[in-house]
């Protein structure tokens, strides 16, 4: 039974590949009408994949075969980091027309990746109405609700009838990004309700919108962080969410497809920070660009490592007396670093998903402390037994075992507390990267280990 989905998937991929080959042949033979028919019959995602496989010569031909509106549909299905270069290679006037036909929020995403001079050039030759709409969105701060919303929505008024609304819907729906929800305004254009398309269709023609709308409408401020908006989509299962100003005037809507992009962006950003990089490496980055991104954290970690080495040097006398202590330094430091990273991952995810707000900070801290105590006790007992059987020294085994217990407890607490403290001061908790936490816990574990070894030196000799 488990092989059936795989077989179906393989068949579909085979069909797509056959279609690609067919369309490729029509493109190379310059059979314009045949190419247009077959290409436009494909799913927009497949169109984008086919387009990206082409070299520049073929892409230039495709630009001439398709209208700006048809190319716009292709562009919105291509990753942002790839689509920017495609606009640069187009004829500027053609590119401006493509921007005009794209959803405004998608066009803004691309323009934000370009130089100011290039943006100004495109806006100058773009259709006036589209340019004005895009300019409004460009003014919003990045990573806010305003920067990801679209102004292509259908708004209706509460004093209109169902019949009047249906006529408006037929007129405006083709240009709207979604019509699953219709947002209801009062005479002052303030958001007062929401109406589903289903409720509109089944209502009598003479019924007023205010009689069938839901007055319980959830909206977000235009300045709200995009990550918080994503959490609202998750919690409420929205397909679209209205964006309002401080007076509750409707400014735009955010659709679920934009939120999926936000979730991917935020996950990628957190991943890069957890790996101690300022940003994730892109496919087209040079070695120099990648090195510039990674070096700042690595330099910080280098100096922290030097500090760790100097700490070990301060316990040189202890090491001279009991040289066997050096064997277990990597063990204790490594265990503390690994435990801290695990706690860090749980803490960062808890903050990102809002679990800290739901469960309470103290409850989560207590849970992590007990977790650290349990794991530390188990690992401590195991290593005590192993060292006693290996070295024949019970006190050495106890020293290492207790050191691991204390180090794992402290490392677990550090891994959970540091992100919470950073979050409290409005610093992204992902900045408390894995390597950073690991190095901090190395220092703590060495202080514990050698501090105890120095204190109980008489039992070890």
Dump pLDDT digits (tens) for 237-284: 888 899 999 899 999 999 888 888 888 776 666 655 555 555 555 555
Q: So what's the pLDDT on residue 264? A: 75
Q: So what's the pLDDT on residue 250? A: 93
Q: Which two tokens stand for residue 225?
A: 């962080």
Domains and CATH numbers, the chain: 17-147 (1.25.60.10), 155-256 (3.10.580.10), 287-460 (1.10.357.20)
Chain segment 25-61, per-residue pLDDT in tens = 999 999 999 999 999 999 999 999 999 999 999 999 9
Q: What is the DSSP letter of 323?
A: G
Chain segment 203-238, per-residue pLDDT in tens = 999 999 999 999 888 999 999 988 889 888 888 888
Pairwise pLDDT comparison (5 vs 212), residue with the higher score:
212
Degrees (nearest 5) of the Cα angle 150, 261, 134? Answer: 30
Q: For the range 455-461, what are the long-range contacts, defined as Cβ-Cβ under 8 Å and sequence gap of 24 or more?
A: 456/395, 456/399, 457/318, 457/321, 457/322, 459/395, 460/321, 460/322, 460/325, 460/393, 460/395, 460/396, 460/399, 461/321, 461/322
The answer to whether 253 and 177 have CB atoms below 8 angstroms apart is: yes
Q: Which two tokens stand for residue 107?
A: 């066009």
HSE at residue 346, side-chain half, CA atoms within 13 A, is 20
Question: What is the signed CA dihedral for 387, 388, 393, 399, rounded to 10 degrees?
Answer: 60
The answer to whether 168 and 156 have CB atoms below 8 angstroms apart is: yes
What percent of the chain shows pLDDT beyond 90?
35
CA distance 340 to 68: 53
The answer to whether 251 and 221 have CB atoms below 8 angstroms apart is: no
Containing 240, the helix (H) or strand (E) segment is: strand 240-244
Nearest to 150 by CA among 169, 176, 126: 176
Give me the mean pLDDT over the 340-367 stretch. Answer: 73
Q: So what's the pLDDT on residue 355? A: 63
Reply yes or no on whether the pLDDT at 437 is more than 80. Answer: no
Q: So what's the pLDDT on residue 46? A: 92
Q: So what's the pLDDT on residue 143? A: 84
pLDDT level of residue 1 (50, 70, 90 thresholds): very low
Chain segment 277-314, per-residue pLDDT in tens = 555 555 556 777 767 766 776 777 778 778 878 878 88
CA distance 158 to 172: 17
What percent of the chain shows pLDDT beyond 70?
89
């Amino acid at each position: 039974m488990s092989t059936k989905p795989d077989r179906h998937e393989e068949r579909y991929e085979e069909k797509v590949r056959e279609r690609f080959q067919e369309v490729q042949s029509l493109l190379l033979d310059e059979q314009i009408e045949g190419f247009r028919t077959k290409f436009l019959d494909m799913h927009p995602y497949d169109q984008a994949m086919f387009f990206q496989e082409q070299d520049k010569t073929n892409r230039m031909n495709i630009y001439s075969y398709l209208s700006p509106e048809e190319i716009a549909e292709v562009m919105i299905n291509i990753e942002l980091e790839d689509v920017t270069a495609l606009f640069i290679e187009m004829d500027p006037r053609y590119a401006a027309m493509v921007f005009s036909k794209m959803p405004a929020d998608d066009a803004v995403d691309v323009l934000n990746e370009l130089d100011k001079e290039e943006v100004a050039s495109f806006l100058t030759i773009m259709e006036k109405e589209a340019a004005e709409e895009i300019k409004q969105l460009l003014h919003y701060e990045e990573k806010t609700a305003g920067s990801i919303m679209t102004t292509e929505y259908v708004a209706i008024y509460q004093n209109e009838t169902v019949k009047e609304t249906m006529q408006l819907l037929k007129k405006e729906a083709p240009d709207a990004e979604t019509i699953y929800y219709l947002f209801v305004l009062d005479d002052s254009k303030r958001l007062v309700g929401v109406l589903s398309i289903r409720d509109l269709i089944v209502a009598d023609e003479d019924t007023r919108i205010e009689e069938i709308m839901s007055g319980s409408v959830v909206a977000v401020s235009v300045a709200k962080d995009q990550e918080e908006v994503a959490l609202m989509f998750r919690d409420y299962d929205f397909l679209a969410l209205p964006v309002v100003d401080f007076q509750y005037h409707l400014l735009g809507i955010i659709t679920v497809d934009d939120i999926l992009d936000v979730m991917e962006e935020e996950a990628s950003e957190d991943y890069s920070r957890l790996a101690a990089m300022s940003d994730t490496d892109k496919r087209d980055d040079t070695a120099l660009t990648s090195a510039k991104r990674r070096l700042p954290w690595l330099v910080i970690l280098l100096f922290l490592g030097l500090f760790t080495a100097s700490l070990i040097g301060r316990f040189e006398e202890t090491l001279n007396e009991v040289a066997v202590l050096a064997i277990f330094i990597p063990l204790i430091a490594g265990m503390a670093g690994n435990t801290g990273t695990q706690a860090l991952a749980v803490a960062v995810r808890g903050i990102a998903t809002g679990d800290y707000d739901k469960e309470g900070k103290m409850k989560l801290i207590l849970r992590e402390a007990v977790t650290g105590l349990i794991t530390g006790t188990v690992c401590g007992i195991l290593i005590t037994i192993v060292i006693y059987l290996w070295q024949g020294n019970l006190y050495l085994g106890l020293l290492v075992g207790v050191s691991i217990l204390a180090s794992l407890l402290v490392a677990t607490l550090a891994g959970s507390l540091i992100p919470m403290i950073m979050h409290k001061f409005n610093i992204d908790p992902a900045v408390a990267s894995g390597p950073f936490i690991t190095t901090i816990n190395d220092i703590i574990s060495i202080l514990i280990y050698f501090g105890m070894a120095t204190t109980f030196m008489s039992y070890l000799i």
